[in-house]
Structure 1
Amino acid sequence: MNLTYFDVKETSHLVEEFYHISYTKEKTPLKTTMIPYGVSGLTYIFGKGQKTLNNNVETKLENLVINGQFTKSYDFIVDEPGFSIGVNFKPTTLHKITNADLSTFTNKNSSFKILNEQLSTNLEKIFLTYKEDKNLLFSKLEELFLTLKLTNNKKIEIVDETLEMIKEEEGLLSVNDLLKKVPFSQKTLENNFKKMVGLTPSKYIRIQRFLNLMKKYENNTIDFKDLIYMYNYYDESHFSRDFKSFTSKLPKDYFTEDFSIMKEAFKK
């Protein structure tokens, strides 16, 4: 398995990252645990045998797939060699370019055609035409994204400002902290977050805190136990509860189970 990221040049206001991931004959079959990563996006699947297992429900991944926000882990399985090329968006981008209610895609991988058939056709043409030249492919995707008419209004602006606050604080704040700074009631903030991001504010904050801790750990920034307290976990059992909530496993399993894709992503 090889995961490579590519530069975002013209669409950094919309795109978090471009990536290419390949699975060789020597490394397949592969089964790995995917955990919430705080982004929605799209992936084009090249090859057969890629699927997910989520709550004992198997989903075959074919062609252009929407990756919704996830609140819990799922198994990703690759039975045959192949590769995928994808885009992780900024939290509200998928809503801006489709006007979709992203909560309908939470904890799901779905065909992009369900969301927007014409846009799906245009995207698929780019992926299939330029699959051998990833830099050109991502350049063409950026060109397409820049032509799209984006949904934008005051509510989206406020949610984007709220997301920026959460990012700056690395998830070390509460919903009450946000409510002191945004002109929304708690219910209004929650409803707009679910629609535009796919998660509630409290769940998004917890995921961001957890991800920032794991990224620092994988990059050897600080000792694991020190990180737990730095990220406002009162003790190891408190952290263990969050870890199990997001990964369905205990922290000690992180060192024995296969989290190969997530570990590579954390090192970015």
Structure 2
Amino acid sequence: MHQHRVASKELSHIVERMYEIDIPHASTFEDNQVIPIGMGTISVVMKGNPRIKGINGIRPFPKYALGGQYFPTFSFDSDIPLQYYGIALRPTATYKLFDTYLAEIQNDFIRLDEVMGDKADQLRDRMLELEDTEERFDLLENFILQMLPVSPKYNHIDVIIDLIYEKQGILKVQELCEHEDISRRYLEKKFKKHIGFTPGQFIRQVRFNFTCAQIAEGTEPVNDILVKFGYYDRSHFMKKFKKYHSNDLSVLTGDEDNLFKIAFSRIMRTDSENTFHP
């Protein structure tokens, strides 16, 4: 069972979505493949022995962690049933909350107590005392609310990232520069420092994620979706999809539920519900 909650308005400039992943049996890396979502995550493991497989090999995953964006992809397994809660953070949130640029933890994770001390154990202990998923979401939301800066500052990067999400990645880098009246060189320097990607790479990633999300919804023909997002034919899109997942689009279009289809693609689905505009 997998559940989600869109962030409240108070948190929408920090949090994209909260989610619960509950896998009631042992699972493999092949079962749990995740494409890059372009943002950092806070993960709290409630039960299980997860391992992460990515560009840095296979490593045990701690009971809680702050993770960066994995590129090109990552997967996880557990030799027993696994349950954990995640918070998908807006791309600049790791810096605002933990003074850690997303670029610094790309393809990596750090233990949550390394950036917030004993509060990490306190959070997990309180979550373990609760049984209801919505109550745990409430706890996570209050936890982030208490960590917000008193006077949050918004800059060009925040405004531009909002615009990229609003347009679902269907725009060009020059449009971003014109929107904020800044040079391309300045924008690229800021993006590499904060996000670890160039603006163009980030745009393409967001566009790909929204494309996958809409294909997974199954409300429009696949070819129509691909045209809308600027892929000139299915083979063009599949080259990208194969790089991240496999050569079989049925993971999104098939009737059988899987973690990629019903959980991680959904993180991008309702971004318009929680877009923050300073």
Report the TM-score, using the length of structure 2 for normalisation. Answer: 0.82
Aligned residues: 261
2:211·2:229 contact (CA, 8 Å) conserved in 1?
A: yes
Relative to structure 1, the CA distance from residue 251 to residue 81 in structure 2 (aligned partners, 3 Å threshold; closer, same or farther) is: closer
- 2:134 and 2:249 map into 1 onto residues whose CA distance is 39
Is residue 209 of structure 2 the alignment partner of residue 175 of structure 1? no
- 2:259 and 2:177 map into 1 onto residues whose CA distance is 35
| Aligned with 2:161 (options 150, 154, 163) | 163
Residue 241 of structure 1 and its aligned partner are, at CA, apart by 2.6
Identity %: 24
1:82-97 aligned within 5 A: 82-97=82-97
Greater mean alpha carbon deviation, residues 208-217 or residues 47-56: 47-56
Unaligned runs of 5+ in 2: 270-278
- 1:103 and 1:259 map into 2 onto residues whose CA distance is 33
Relative to structure 1, the CA distance from residue 7 to residue 224 in structure 2 (aligned partners, 3 Å threshold; closer, same or farther) is: closer
1:16·1:89 contact (CA, 8 Å) conserved in 2?
A: yes
Relative to structure 1, the CA distance from residue 71 to residue 187 in structure 2 (aligned partners, 3 Å threshold; closer, same or farther) is: farther
Cα-to-partner distance string for 1:244-267 (whole Å, 9 max, x where unaligned): 3333x3355747999921200335
| Aligned with 1:222 (options 215, 220, 223) | 220
1:48·1:62 contact (CA, 8 Å) conserved in 2?
A: no
Unaligned runs of 5+ in 1: none
Residue 200 of structure 1 and its aligned partner are, at CA, apart by 2.6
Cα-to-partner distance string for 1:53-87 (whole Å, 9 max, x where unaligned): 11371111121112211231222212211311121
Q: Residue 84 of structure 2: SS of its match in structure 1?
A: strand
2:15·2:93 contact (CA, 8 Å) conserved in 1?
A: yes
Relative to structure 1, the CA distance from residue 55 to residue 43 in structure 2 (aligned partners, 3 Å threshold; closer, same or farther) is: same
Instruction: Tell me the equivalent position of 2:276.
Output: none
Q: CA RMSD in A?
A: 2.7
Instruction: Tell me the equivalent position of 1:240.
Output: 238
- 1:239 and 1:256 map into 2 onto residues whose CA distance is 14
Q: Residue 43 of structure 1: SS of its match in structure 2?
A: strand
Residue 178 of structure 1 and its aligned partner are, at CA, apart by 0.9
Instruction: Tell me the equivalent position of 1:201.
Output: 199
1:60-209 aligned within 5 A: 60-130=60-130, 132-150=131-149, 152-153=152-153, 156-209=154-207
Greater mean alpha carbon deviation, residues 118-127 or residues 28-37: 118-127
What letter is aligned with 2:207? R
Residue 118 of structure 1 and its aligned partner are, at CA, apart by 4.7
2:54·2:70 contact (CA, 8 Å) conserved in 1?
A: no
What letter is aligned with 2:168? E
